[in-house]
């Protein structure tokens, strides 16, 4: 005869200390858990509501000190919590993000500061502006104890180079002592020379944005006010490629993880991602802004980028997503002229027309500080449940919903109406024309006029 005996060890369910958690025994047999999917669905809805309605508090703080509009920013690649900002009155400041205080000021420019760039080792800051000067500054290295003393400190430029025309943009080459400026043309400078090593002109108007490729340091991309985007190769000593769009590109950013791709922030309220090997069409069109996109910056992970717009909002896009996953705005924030991702991809910094820098969380509902193991597991479980039921209407609606400022909401509705009207007009024109006489082009190709 066979007898089944229940055997339990007291060690399995007895707490060793009073602070220990009581062990729970679970039977995961689906036949005895008939309501499992219904329970998980309710948990997914609750997790989505908690994330969007309770914990979504992206604004961390504002950094004030400038007395005019903030026109440009630069990250220090060698220091996680330091960021530089330049304003329209010629003031340059170094900020400590952790304490949200000014560490050092760099006085000297007589006009608006239009461009800032930091060398790869983080020791040299390059600034340029409308006063036709390029200035090199030594970046102060201070400890946390010295911050109170250095807050009133002003730096003296290491070098000042005066040139023939005003500058609109500057960027530093990766791992080398060269930097490029954009203005009436593209000039390549060296730290140790007071005149440009190389100069490029390709029949362009003023160059408004310039960026070195992070993977190939000798390649750089520029955008100009004649609506062109050009790629230059310093080894060839001549421009490599150029194409003209229907509207002007205000800023360019390379994808740090896929250096063959770059994204352009355009005047027509869209962003366009391009493959530098195939410039006759965009890889992806990123929509949602309702006014000109002024600046763009990629996350160090290369999976998303942040944009700042003239419509007074900051948006975060997936690198291959057509619509933004997040929108940030405040009542006091005015037109956003510059945005940056922090070097650890955890925060976003925006500089706007109201003289303030603002610090935002890259993930609006992320819990700051050290997480306990149980908290971490709870967050992971909520994410997994939301991901499992994300296609269901209720969960999708909660996760996608964003409160918009009234002007942005109305402008978006007007934009949709105009787009729909154009589409209907095109369909009617096509229906009343000879077959094949009207050629349809996708938006990815329609915005590009000519490739040279």
Q: What is the rounded CA–CA span in Å between residue 334 and residue 221?
A: 29
Give residue 324's pLDDT band: very low, low, confident or very high (50, 70, 90). Answer: very high
- Give me the domains of the chain, ranges plus CATH numbers: 60-363 (2.130.10.10)
pTM of the model: 0.89
Q: What is the mean pLDDT of residues 391-396?
A: 96
Percentage, residues of the chain above pLDDT 90 = 77
Q: What is the mean pLDDT of residues 95-113?
A: 92
What is the per-residue pLDDT for 142?
62
Residue 143: pLDDT above 80?
Answer: no
33 or 330, which is more confident: 330
Residues 251-273: pLDDT tens digits? 999 999 999 999 999 999 999 99
- Give the pLDDT band (50/70/90) at residue 154: confident
The confidence band for 64, taking pLDDT boundaries of 50, 70 and 90, is very high
Grade residue 152 by pLDDT with cuts at 50, 70 and 90: low
Q: What is the mean pLDDT of residues 365-383?
A: 93
Position 451 scores a pLDDT of 92
């Amino acid at each position: 005869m066979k007898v089944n005996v229940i055997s339990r060890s007291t060690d399995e369910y007895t707490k060793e200390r009073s602070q220990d958690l009581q062990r729970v025994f679970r039977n995961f047999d689906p036949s005895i858990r008939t309501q499992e999917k219904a329970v998980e669905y309710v948990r997914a809805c609750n997790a989505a509501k908690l994330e969007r309605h309770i914990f979504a508090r992206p604004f961390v703080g504002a950094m004030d000190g400038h007395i005019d509009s903030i026109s440009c920013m630069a990250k220090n690649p060698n220091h996680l919590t330091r960021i530089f900002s330049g304003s329209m009155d010629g003031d340059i400041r170094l900020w400590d993000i952790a304490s949200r205080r000014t560490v050092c000021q760099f006085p000297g420019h007589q006009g608006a500061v239009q461009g800032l760039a930091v060398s790869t080792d983080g020791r040299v800051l390059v600034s340029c502006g409308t006063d036709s000067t390029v200035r090199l500054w030594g970046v102060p290295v201070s400890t946390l104890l010295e911050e109170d003393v250095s807050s009133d400190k002003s730096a003296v430029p290491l070098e000042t180079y005066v040139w023939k025309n005003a500058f609109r943009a500057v960027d530093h080459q990766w791992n080398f002592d060269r930097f490029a400026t954009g203005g009436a043309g593209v000039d390549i400078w060296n730290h140790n020379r007071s005149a440009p090593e190389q100069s490029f002109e390709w029949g362009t108007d003023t160059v408004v944005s310039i960026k070195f490729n992070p993977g190939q340091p000798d390649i750089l991309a520029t955008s100009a006010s004649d609506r062109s985007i050009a790629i230059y190769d310093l080894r060839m000593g001549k421009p490599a490629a150029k194409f003209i769009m229907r509207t002007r590109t205000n800023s360019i950013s390379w994808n740090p993880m896929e250096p063959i791709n770059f994204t352009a922030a355009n005047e027509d309220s869209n962003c366009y991602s391009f493959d530098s090997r195939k410039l006759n069409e965009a890889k992806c069109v990123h929509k949602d802004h309702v006014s000109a996109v002024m600046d763009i910056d990629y996350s160090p992970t290369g999976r998303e980028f942040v944009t700042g717009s003239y419509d007074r909002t900051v948006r975060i896009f997936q690198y291959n997503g057509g619509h933004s996953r997040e929108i940030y705005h405040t009542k006091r924030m005015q037109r956003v002229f510059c945005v940056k991702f922090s070097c650890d991809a955890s925060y976003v910094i925006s500089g706007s027309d109201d003289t303030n820098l603002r610090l935002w969380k890259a993930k609006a509902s992320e819990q700051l500080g050290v997480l306990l193991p149980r908290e971490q597991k709870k967050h992971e479980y909520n994410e997994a449940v939301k991901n499992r039921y994300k296609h269901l209407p209720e969960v999708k609606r909660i996760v996608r919903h964003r409160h918009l400022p009234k002007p942005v909401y109305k402008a978006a509705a007007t934009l949709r109406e105009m787009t729909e009207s154009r589409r209907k007009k095109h369909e009617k024109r096509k229906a009343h024309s000879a077959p094949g006489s009207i050629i349809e082009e996708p938006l990815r190709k329609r915005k590009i006029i000519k490739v040279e």
